[in-house]
Structure 1
Amino acid sequence: MIGKYYEKYLKRYGVKLPKLTDTEGNYTKDALVLAYLSQSYPSTKSVSKGELTQFIRQYYPDVADVQQARHLAAQKGWHIVSGTRGNKDVELKPGEYQLTSLEKPYPAFVGQKREEVDIENWDKLKERYGNRCATCGSKEGEPNIHWQNSITQLQKSHMNPKKPLVAGNIIPQCQFCNRAYRNYWIFDDKGRVRKLANPSVIIKSDEKVRWEVYKILYKEFKGRKPNG
């Protein structure tokens, strides 16, 4: 079912269809999560992150934290809404997800081809940063600066999450910074936040901050209504 909807509606937008199995014949986590969220489509239901984790553990018993629902939406284009990110489609609690459409891509998805940086160039990029996280400075293979009981693992992270993950748009971040900043911010090559990439950050801000932002935008757009 998912494949038919993908071919008919989503492929044209650059949405990425997960591989069903890996090289060893095991179902991939992306495919499992997408199938679980698609149950009874179009009458899907909200699913908690805990429920997804318990489901995935039937296939991957050692999995600690399931991030696939978030990645399927923001990075691969599937229309999966989140109670944590904030959405206008359905009411969800923080930590809940729901697939709302197999006919439209995720609104914030930029349908560009994602190209992987090969291992050699990735190693060279990490060397330029001293094999440290560009944001917090934790060194790969050593205890994390902020999480002393965890060993730092460097991951390819977007400088601008609205653009593809290619050379020139990648900085190394530790697993904790990469997870915390998600697709909210645009970074410079020093790992410093420079711009906002996801407006849902405003929704999470204090009322006073939201009011100040509103005044700035109201003035800039001269009180124009969003659909006006």
Structure 2
Amino acid sequence: MNQEEIFKTFELIVEYHEKYLKGYGVKSIKLKDSKGNYTKDALVLVYLAQNYPNTRVISKAELTEFVRQFYPNVSDVQQARHLSKQGGFNIISGTRGDIGAKIPAGFYQLVDLTTPYPSFKPDRRSGIESASFEELKKEYDYRCATCGSVEGQPHNIRKNEVIQLQEGHMNPALPLEIGNIIPQCQVCNRPDRDRWIYDKTGRVIAVADSDDGKRVVEKYLKKVSQSTKEYFFEFLKKLLRQ
């Protein structure tokens, strides 16, 4: 995409946001930051919105290559996931297993600009200021809260992967902000997504109240013994009668 295409597509996004998405609590994104650079959120959303409404399925690798034109050192673009789950834009993911999504793992597609992502909660935010996250990483000695791997060094187990700490969501039902994030490496943050609730030490303390959390419970109940299923059946009957 050239500069003109980026601007025109972003103007279209702004128009649709004002007309449709704003009413759902979806917050607008900035095209450029205070230094005049394109924001990563804007670049990813604009790329996904090419030729709207005739959008196409786009791989994470392709998104990353596009963003690298403006941020050469970026290693792993996470914006598409955050723009949907936390930002509210209706972007489906093959990796996340969105209901009704018939696209391969590692691919995304913008569904439309008129309705929010189905499980979007308006009080969730798309991110935090990088300076604040840097301070948080320092408190954790630049280690992943879950596995202890050190940023910039090989992963403790997967030696072929160099650690880049990401904003791990402690409780997916609450805003993604300081007080509700922990630094996690890409290995720990990538597969867990919105399945669990973590404490500040990076330990799982509960299943999240989310679509991913429901899938965890479903898989568990399918695998347990008949007696365990009967136990939960009776438990739920009592719970629902309260």
Shared fold per TM-score greater than 0.5: yes
Pairing 1:24–2:24 present: no
Whole-angstrom distance in 2 between the partners of 1:19 and 1:53: 19
> What is the aligned partner in structure 1 of residue 122 from structure 2?
111
Q: Is the 8 A contact 1:117 1:167 kept in 2?
A: no
Q: Is the 8 A contact 2:92 2:109 kept in 1?
A: yes
**Shift, 1:68, TM fit:** 1.9
Whole-angstrom distance in 1 between the partners of 2:66 and 2:131: 32
Pairing 1:49–2:47 present: no
**Shift, 1:92, TM fit:** 0.9
Pairing 1:83–2:94 present: yes
Pairing 1:199–2:211 present: yes
> What is the aligned partner in structure 2 of residue 6 from structure 1?
17
Q: Which runs of 5+ in 1 are unaligned?
A: 223-228
> What is the aligned partner in structure 2 of residue 177 from structure 1?
188
Whole-angstrom distance in 1 between the partners of 2:91 and 2:219: 30
Q: For 1:104, give the aligned amino acid.
A: T
Q: Give the percent of matched residue pairs that are identical in Structure 1 and Structure 2.
A: 52
Whole-angstrom distance in 2 between the partners of 1:35 and 1:149: 32
> What is the aligned partner in structure 2 of residue 63 from structure 1?
74
Change (3 A) 1:89 1:144: closer
Whole-angstrom distance in 2 between the partners of 1:138 and 1:51: 28
- Of residues 177, 201, 204, the one that matches 1:190 is 201
Change (3 A) 1:147 1:11: same
Q: Which runs of 5+ in 2 are unaligned?
A: 1-11, 238-242
Change (3 A) 1:157 1:212: same
**Shift, 1:84, TM fit:** 1.1
Whole-angstrom distance in 2 between the partners of 1:80 and 1:36: 12
Whole-angstrom distance in 1 between the partners of 2:219 and 2:191: 23
Secondary structure of 1:23's match? coil
- Mean Cα displacement is larger for which, 50-59 or 158-167? 50-59
> What is the aligned partner in structure 2 of residue 160 from structure 1?
171
Higher helix proportion: 2
Deviations 1:89-123 (A, max 9, x none): 44111112111121111122221164848957974
- TM-score by length of structure 2 reads 0.71
- TM-score by length of structure 1 reads 0.75
Whole-angstrom distance in 2 between the partners of 1:63 and 1:122: 16
Q: For 2:211, give the aligned amino acid.
A: P
